[in-house]
Amino acid sequence: MSTKRSRAITLATAGTLALATAISLAATLPAASSPAAASADAAYTSTTSQQATARPSANGVAQAVMFARMRSIEAARHQQELAAQKAAKAAEARASAAKAAAAKVAAAKSSARAVAARPSAAQAAKKAQPAQQAAAITPSGSPEQVAERLLSQFGWSSSQFSCLQPLWEHESGWSVTAENPSSGAYGIPQALPAAQMASAGADWQTNAATQIRWGLTYIQGRYGSPCGAWGHEEAANWY
């Protein structure tokens, strides 16, 4: 073999070895850099895991805050309702107390009026005196004459006869036996019930003077005078 050819073969063999070495180095480079890549992957995985763990924790805190606010609002609303109910009950109690007080005052006024309207024993005795005097002295004459003469025994002037005359003329026509067929009122003064005239005398059914004495006593106790009774008769058509 010539020297030139032997050199060519040597060079080719060297080149082949160099290429093989380069390929071997290239193949080993990824393996050499794999620890750094593995470290980066582990860090990313750890961060992602921490974020995933933090998200549920943050959501739980937000829900707890929301529930706390809802409970606070509900408690405030409940307190307002209780306060409103309490105020309504207090107002109702005040109204009931005021009504009871008004009823008590009205009852007291009514009782006072009844007591004031009730004649005392002295007043009753004073009113009975003219009737007793009239019973002791019975004038004679017609029913109208008897009535006119009895006026002074009741403390009235003769002018009261101008009211008494039309009063009993309208009621009975001054008839001792006049009787109202519907009510049963009887006699000159038209007493109702008729039997109450017995307080003036047992002969009340036939004696004009007995009826007149009872009638004048009734007028004095109820109206004060014959003119007072006549005024009521004109207004109400009864006395």
**In the predicted structure, residue 164 carries a pLDDT above the cut 60:** yes
Q: Would you state the structure tokens that stand for residue 215, as one six-digit string?
A: 């009638």
Residue 121: pLDDT band with limits 50, 70, 90: very low
Q: How far apart are CA 41 and CA 116, in angstroms?
A: 113
H or E element, residue 225: none
Q: Comparing C-alpha atoms, which of 233, 219, 115, 229 is closest to residue 170? A: 233
| Section 137-156 average pLDDT | 92
Which residues share a beta bridge with 227?
A: none
* CA dihedral over 236, 115, 133, 154, signed as positive or negative: negative
Q: Which residue has the higher pLDDT, 104 or 202?
A: 202
Residue type for position 150: L
**In the predicted structure, residue 221 carries a pLDDT above the cut 70:** yes
Is 152 exposed, middle or buried (CB count within 10 Å of its CB: 0-12, 13-18, 19+)?
middle
Helix (H, G, I), strand (E, B) or coil at 184: coil
Q: How far apart are CA 73 and CA 76, in angstroms?
A: 5
Prior bond of 119 cis (ω within 30°): no
Residue ranges per domain, the chain?
A: 57-118, 121-236
Residue type for position 171: E
Give percent above pLDDT 70 in the chain: 62
Whether the pTM exceeds 0.85: the reply is no
Residue 184 exposure: Cα atoms within 13 Å on the Cβ side: 5
Q: How far apart are CA 206 and CA 210, in angstroms?
A: 8
Tell me how crowded residue 91 is: count the other CB atoms within 10 A of its CB.
10
Q: Would you state the structure tokens that stand for residue 83, as one six-digit string?
A: 């306060």
Q: Which residue has the higher pLDDT, 196 or 83?
A: 196
CA–centroid distance for 151 within its chain: 57
Q: Where are the beta strands (DSSP E) in 138-202?
A: none
For the packed helices 208-222 and 121-136, what is the interaxial angle rounded to 10 degrees? Answer: 160
User: What is the DSSP secondary structure assignment for residue 223, as one 8-state letter?
Assistant: T
| Section 8-32 average pLDDT | 49
Q: Which of 67-81, 111-125, 164-178 has the lowest mean pLDDT?
A: 111-125
Q: How far apart are CA 219 and CA 189, in angstroms?
A: 9
